[in-house]
Structure 1
Amino acid sequence: AVLLATPWWTRCRRALAAVLADIRALHARPARAAALWGGSVAFAALHALVLIAVTRAVGLPLAPLQVALLYLAASSAAALLPTPGGLGSLDAALAFALTAAGTPGAGAASAVLGYRLLTVWLPLLPGLLVLAVLVRRKAL
């Protein structure tokens, strides 16, 4: 009972109440909730598809469903050590998951590098072009 009356518990209760109020407000608008949940599911599914394509390209003998489950497990584990874009933690978790599934280390490393090339580095190119245009137009 003493623990429940301490200031830290009061702050936790207030924070939890605020989170629950935000969740209720979000779900009061079904279209907004569907967009949020749909976007979250689509993000994970599309990233899993990229990893499946890369593992196929480098010749790893894994079933697509297995690769998708490995991606979900690795991204969940990487979320425990948050870094910007999951850089480092997701790479290590993916490499570990792929090697734990029985793929050679070189193949796992190639798959992770290919996945990162397609999901992190390649999208920077159009962004760089847009940035150059905006700077030239003095919009930034």
Structure 2
Amino acid sequence: MQALGIPEEIVTESGNRVNAIWFCFRDSMLYNELEQKAVFEENEKYFFFGDQAYGLMELLITPFPGRPQDMPAHQRQFNQSMKILRVSVEWGFQKIVSLFAFVAALLTNCHTCLYGSQTADYFNTVPPTLEE
């Protein structure tokens, strides 16, 4: 899963993680919005912090690569600080999974009733209607 977590614990741009993770981020237009709308004070700047798969950009930073024991102290400290903050994004995913698994299953069932499924095709069956 990939999403943008913000301090108010609102999760935006949720979606499945795919191999072309960079293209999903680019196509979401989130970076462009940050570039255009972010107003910075003189010594203040906001960044996206992402997985190393995203790569570096002016407003997108990632952890330093490598094993902690092989890094200079400042890189190790940066990675540790960001790791602690990144846990807050995991809280948002946990909330989605724990509170809305039933809703996800219900909506998936509705989709299957309307459009069929690979499983129904495989077993040569017809899903029920929404009313059933």
TM-score, normalisation: structure 2:
0.31
- 1 or 2 for the larger relative contact order (CA 8 Å, sep ≥6)? 1
Normalized per residue, the structure richer in strand is 2
Normalized per residue, the structure richer in helix is 1
